[in-house]
Amino acid sequence: MRHTKSPRGAGAGRSRLAGCTLLVIALGAGVTGCSSDGHPLSAEPYDAADRISFSVSADEGKPADPDKPLEIVAEDSDGRITDVTAVDAAGRHVAGELAADGSRWHSTTPLAAGAQYTVRVSTEDEDGAPGRKVLTFTTGRPAATKRLAVTFGPEAGTYGVGQPVTAELNEPVRDPAQRAVVERALKVDSTPAVTGTWHWVDDKKLHYRPKEYWPAHATIEVRSNLEGIKVGDRLRGAASKPLTLRTGDRVIALTDAAAHRLTVIKNGEEIKQLPVTTGKPGFETRNGVKVVLAKEPFVRMRSSTVGIAEGSAESYDLDVRFATRVTWSGEYVHAAPWSVGSQGYANVSHGCVGMSTANAEWFFDTVRQGDIVEVVNSAGDTMEPFGNGFGDWNLDWPKWQAGSALTTDKAPSTAEQARLRPQSV
């Protein structure tokens, strides 16, 4: 954070060596070393850097306490701090706040344990003469604690533009302040850039999605900066494996249950319409946006596995081909040769989207995991946001943002478990 320079006074013509600033680094423990970055006399505008002195309020040679904030104080009233940057060897920056008068800077995010930091402090004296100093210190390692590890998903690869990023924690995090620490450390960068945020599904799971679908042919880099960071009492972040994802073409399969038609749109262009059948009364297909979870060339679907009695009017035992899964409870887009006479005219399925074998094979070959399957004009409920697949896109943007620990205004929790429906055909 920078602080605007004050105008030079009547003594501006005095030597640049006047009005040196003393900086105190208060860490609650020792600093392992301090230096001038090997360049005590830098080129302009830092030609007064050699006139700035530093001191440490701790015993020499001991590592700093990572649980205490980093503080820098300008003790000389004739000078002030203009800028501070603090970064560890892994490239993680420490956020901080600078007082309006430039007298003090303090960190606002936690330090990592067992890390080496470099701090660069810029100053100016009462005449506007600039100075700069660089020091390094190492933080100590805490007593034995639990380690909070993060596993990102899905696996590295190429996905459709609807694929959310997931983060699974190995320990529950319930406290809002602790959640904020975790969330700040989970980084998602995409090329092209997008606006997006994390949403806490429950105490151990987060999903990340943009405001709109991902751009086609984007690269998404996911990483955790939690290693060594204090999350809570006896809980610190562990190292986590980063993840790289890519998106393919923008493919959206729009199913109109009332018109009995599925329209495939690729990169904004309609490429095919397919006659389909959807869920009949009592087994209506869910409305809303779903994300392709998997493609299964062959699935045996039996009504007995979901509580429908064998021999009843609704029982079935079918070998299903070219099944594209969109819910974990058993909703698919699949081949249904037994209902070809109704496809395009009536809804006769147990909740799935059925089509001819040839059309199902074409659809199976066209879509990929992460592509969008949206159903409209069905009498069914709306797809659950969580628990039965990826219904994330059925939350509007304000409600999605409200699930972030970094959002102040919260909507009602969306972490409830989804109501799973029987496997259907």
Residues involved in catalysis: 334, 352
Residues 6+ away with beta carbon under 8 Å from 252:
264, 265, 371, 372, 374
**104, two tokens:** 């003090």
Q: How open is the CA angle 364-366-369, to the nearest 5 degrees?
A: 75
CA–CA separation, 341 and 407 (whole Å):
52
**149, two tokens:** 């590890």
What's the DSSP call for residue 330? S
CA–CA separation, 81 and 52 (whole Å):
11
List 24's β-bridge partners, or say none. 55, 73
**269, two tokens:** 């262009």
Instruction: Let me know: does 240 contact 226? Beta carbons within 8 Å.
Output: yes
Identify which of 105, 98, 74 has the alpha carbon closest to the alpha carbon of residue 3: 98
**33, two tokens:** 């070393």
Residue 1 CA, distance from chain mean position: 25
CA–CA separation, 216 and 173 (whole Å):
34
Residues 6+ away with beta carbon under 8 Å from 395:
199, 385, 403, 414
Identify which of 402, 424, 425 has the alpha carbon closest to the alpha carbon of residue 415: 402
> How many CB atoms are closer than 10 A to CB 127?
20
**345, two tokens:** 């005219």
Pairing of strands 22-26, 53-56: parallel
**19, two tokens:** 């009005």
**Distant-in-sequence contacts of 405-412, Cβ < 8 A, 24+ apart:** 405/176, 405/179, 405/180, 405/182, 405/183, 405/198, 405/200, 406/180, 406/183, 406/184, 406/197, 407/197
CA–CA separation, 423 and 419 (whole Å):
13
